[in-house]
Structure 1
Amino acid sequence: MPFAIYVLGLMIFSMTTSEFMVAGMMTSLSEEFGVSVSAIGYLISAYAAGMIVGGPLLTIGMLKVPRKQAFLTLTSVFLVGQTIGALASCYEMMMVARVITGISSAASFGVSLAIAFTLVRPESIGRAASVVLGGLMVATAIGLPAAMLFDQYFGWRASFWAVVVLVLLSGVLGQLSIPSSPKPESASIRGELAAFRNRNLWAAYATSMLIIGATFAAFSYFSPILTGVTGFATTMVPFLLGIYGLATVIGNIVTGKLADHYMMSILTVGLITLTAAFVVFGLYPHNTTIVMIAVIVIGLVGVPMNPAMATRITRVAGTGLLVTTVHTSIINLGIVFGSAIGGLTIDAGYGLVSPVWVGAFLAILGFLSLLPFMRVKGKKQEKSQEIFAR
């Protein structure tokens, strides 16, 4: 992999750490701005909303901008937003910062993937995607815990400034390592939007949303489940989540190497395994050993299906900038969708374990969404065998 692809992964790591870290410092931010913890939760929603809605709109405005220039511009916009957050003196100022960073982050995901795909051969797209998106997994395993430690020992503003430094470093390295690209004169809104007429693209988007929705329906509530149901001590939760994060990194490395040749197999086996892990978790939530095995398996096969998901998108609709950015928005919609449904089941009185069953249900839907494609593929194979037999 070219060095530039690892730089793109560093950028995604930095931005994703910014997205997640508010969840780890809710108490500090609540005390700082004099608002409730639930109000701080809206800062997470604001970031996600910026990614879902603003990202594609910003991308449309940059379709004719050379991709390296687009990457550096988005880096600058994110730096502005993150700096506003670090300097925020009131809740409203922090809300503005989260919206700005959310919008620029979504567009950066799309641009980073689009750049990565141009730096490798077609048969290495899945591996390139795994390196870039690996930043997301490492942010879960390392970025979030590190941000929490910065908050505990140096204050929450230190966490924000640390991300500013990382993004700035990523931008400088990107300037030095990403090759210049010509202005994409042929790119047009109409041309980019034409890809969205493809029903197979929307089917691929739906599968991606269900995979991520299933994973985050449960992951969003791991902490209360592990302490309130399974019986782990509160002090153990960061360590347990670190194990989960490490599992996602390992899973991402494996799927990244296999995605180019076994894309559908990864999605199929991954969804079956994910469903089984959720079911076992839901049936034995009080057994610490079984729960930890289930958490590790969810980490290995849930979010790490990202490289296969990205490969499927490129095969269905190409490597267009808007296509990849919308895919990022769809993934974030899955995060919001899954965690929201999981929360609703708890509020409805179904218990803390109910989000795990929501995850199982969404994973089953994800598997069912693959069946039409699998039937078509099977027919093509049968036809090829008949021709060979003749």
Structure 2
Amino acid sequence: MKTFKFQSFVLVLIAFILGFSEFLIVGILDDLGTQFNVPVATVGYLVTIFAMVYAVSTPLITIMIGKYNLFWDLMVMMAIFTFGNILSFVATNFVFLAISRVVTAMVAGVSISLGLTFAGYIAPMSKRGWLLSWVFSGFSIASVVGVPLGTWISTQFGWRISFLTVIVISIMTMGLVFFSLPRDFKQKESTISGQLALLKDHKIQVGMLLPMFNLAAIYVFYTYLRPIITNQLHFSVQMLTILLGVFGISNIIGNRVSGLISEGPGLRAMPFVYISQLILMALMPLVFHYSWLGAVLLFLVIFTMPLINSPIQLFFLSIAEKKYPQSIVLASSLNSIFSNFGIALGSATGGIIVSHLSLNGVGPGGAVYALVSLGLVLWLNHMTQKGLSSDQNSL
């Protein structure tokens, strides 16, 4: 039991450092813009670039490495991830920084997919939802501790030291992975076409779009969270760090609730989540006139962001285990792949809105994607219920 708990901690730490590196840009947008003399909206596209590379490279690399030992796959991916952050640390111009983020993004998605695969491998069935929700919470903890810490370090010592912090924690994490996780883990061998068979499943096809539009809705405004807090809600730089921490706590609570949802109603609960999300985002232009009311609204919307994680992850894994055992790693990666397509879509949409309208438009923009999410989850629940009815009739 102690071994399982320590392995669980290591998997959460992997998610934490991946989240710290990915989300750090949100907290240091202004500092990077000043350093490289580029508009904040342009720096915001680093989020889009990272997410797009993450989403495109993850399935390709996942399929290529799926036949090898997954322990060594994870070690190699984490080493490249660390190297990418070293490149960010020494970046001399904005283009160099963008290239370094591409290197990091190429392996970040594969790393978390392997981490989630290990979670499914080491956890007893009764602990799966619990461990998956904690691994996803690693990203939330990065928001609570990593992003505010990185923002504070950036304002006090410079943004390069923020990346240096990521590098040090990455090296420590690799050491813990080396000494804790099982080294004999491989999935069922298959051809590339055999692994891709998973993507022909209609429920998988609809399910993949759900995390995409879920995060597209959030990242329309979340990419510009720092300017919203300081310019729109008129909080001080000191309050910025505190509020980022509070919003991170909201995200952690959401992840823990996500685990409970996965053990209970699952995806059947999500329509109520997206209706709430839609209403809250539509109210943003009105509520942003009041500092503390706006902060409460942001807290509530950010709470809804991770609620889909555990239910959709278990949904993908259950289908793969029953029908496509050769595609477990690919199934584990779907949530993170399409979440990052969503981050790219949302951050790009937010950039267009901020450039051509103002920060007031990001809420209604996100509400449109929340409406799409609502339609998708209703469709997926209908397909699942129809499948259950067919299975019962065939007995």
TM-score, structure 1 normalization? 0.89
What per-residue deviation string (whole Å, max 9, x for no partner) do you get for residues 221-249 of structure 1? 34444444444445433322321111111
Specify the alignment match of 2:124 in structure 1.
121
For the residue of structure 2 that corresponds to 1:180, the secondary structure is: coil
For the residue of structure 1 that corresponds to 2:370, the secondary structure is: helix
Contact 1:281/1:290, CA 8 A, preserved across alignment: no
One-letter amino acid matched to 2:350: G
Aligned equivalent of 2:317, options 297, 311, 314: 314
Residues 1:359 and 2:378 are matched in the alignment: no
Specify the alignment match of 2:140 in structure 1.
137
One-letter amino acid matched to 1:112: G
- Comparing 184-193 with 293-302, greater Cα deviation is found at 184-193
Specify the alignment match of 1:330 in structure 2.
338
CA distance in 2, matches of 1:380, 1:90: 54
Contact 1:192/1:323, CA 8 A, preserved across alignment: no
CA distance in 2, matches of 1:314, 1:88: 39
Contact 1:52/1:329, CA 8 A, preserved across alignment: yes
Specify the alignment match of 1:341 in structure 2.
349
Q: CA deviation at 1:292?
A: 2.8
Contact 1:66/1:183, CA 8 A, preserved across alignment: yes
Query: Structure 1 residues 323, 287: CA separation in 2 closer, same or farther (over 3 Å shift)?
Result: same
Aligned equivalent of 2:304, options 284, 296, 301: 301
Q: CA deviation at 1:73?
A: 0.9
For the residue of structure 2 that corresponds to 1:353, the secondary structure is: helix
Contact 1:123/1:260, CA 8 A, preserved across alignment: no
Contact 2:250/2:302, CA 8 A, preserved across alignment: yes
Specify the alignment match of 1:208 in structure 2.
211
Identity of aligned residues (%): 24
CA distance in 2, matches of 1:372, 1:38: 35
Residues 1:68 and 2:75 are matched in the alignment: no
Query: Structure 1 residues 315, 386: CA separation in 2 closer, same or farther (over 3 Å shift)?
Result: closer
What per-residue deviation string (whole Å, max 9, x for no partner) do you get for residues 286-319 of structure 1? 2344323322211222224322221222233346
Residues 1:110 and 2:118 are matched in the alignment: no
Specify the alignment match of 1:188 in structure 2.
191
For the residue of structure 2 that corresponds to 1:279, the secondary structure is: helix
One-letter amino acid matched to 2:116: L
One-letter amino acid matched to 1:200: K
CA distance in 2, matches of 1:90, 1:348: 26
- Comparing 259-268 with 62-71, greater Cα deviation is found at 259-268
For the residue of structure 2 that corresponds to 1:102, the secondary structure is: helix
TM-score, structure 2 normalization? 0.88
Q: CA deviation at 1:30?
A: 4.4
CA distance in 2, matches of 1:35, 1:380: 52
Contact 1:124/1:260, CA 8 A, preserved across alignment: no
5+ residue gaps, structure 1, are none
5+ residue gaps, structure 2, are 322-326
Residues 1:50 and 2:58 are matched in the alignment: no
Query: Structure 1 residues 86, 193: CA separation in 2 closer, same or farther (over 3 Å shift)?
Result: same
- Comparing 339-348 with 249-258, greater Cα deviation is found at 339-348
Aligned equivalent of 2:290, options 283, 287, 292: 287
Query: Structure 1 residues 244, 330: CA separation in 2 closer, same or farther (over 3 Å shift)?
Result: same
Query: Structure 1 residues 106, 232: CA separation in 2 closer, same or farther (over 3 Å shift)?
Result: same
**What's the Cα RMSD here?**
2.8
Contact 2:137/2:252, CA 8 A, preserved across alignment: yes
Aligned equivalent of 1:371, options 365, 372, 378: 378
Specify the alignment match of 2:175 in structure 1.
172
For the residue of structure 1 that corresponds to 2:68, the secondary structure is: coil
Contact 1:231/1:286, CA 8 A, preserved across alignment: no
One-letter amino acid matched to 2:304: V
How many pairs were matched up?
387
CA distance in 1, matches of 2:186, 2:384: 38
Specify the alignment match of 2:324 in structure 1.
none
For the residue of structure 2 that corresponds to 1:320, the secondary structure is: helix
Contact 2:12/2:135, CA 8 A, preserved across alignment: yes
CA distance in 1, matches of 2:393, 2:111: 46
- Comparing 160-169 with 226-235, greater Cα deviation is found at 226-235
For the residue of structure 1 that corresponds to 2:288, the secondary structure is: coil
One-letter amino acid matched to 2:90: L
One-letter amino acid matched to 2:219: F
Moved segments of 4+, more than 6 Å: 380-387
Aligned equivalent of 1:198, options 188, 194, 201: 201
CA distance in 2, matches of 1:116, 1:70: 15
Residues 1:263 and 2:266 are matched in the alignment: yes
Contact 1:116/1:128, CA 8 A, preserved across alignment: yes
Specify the alignment match of 1:160 in structure 2.
163
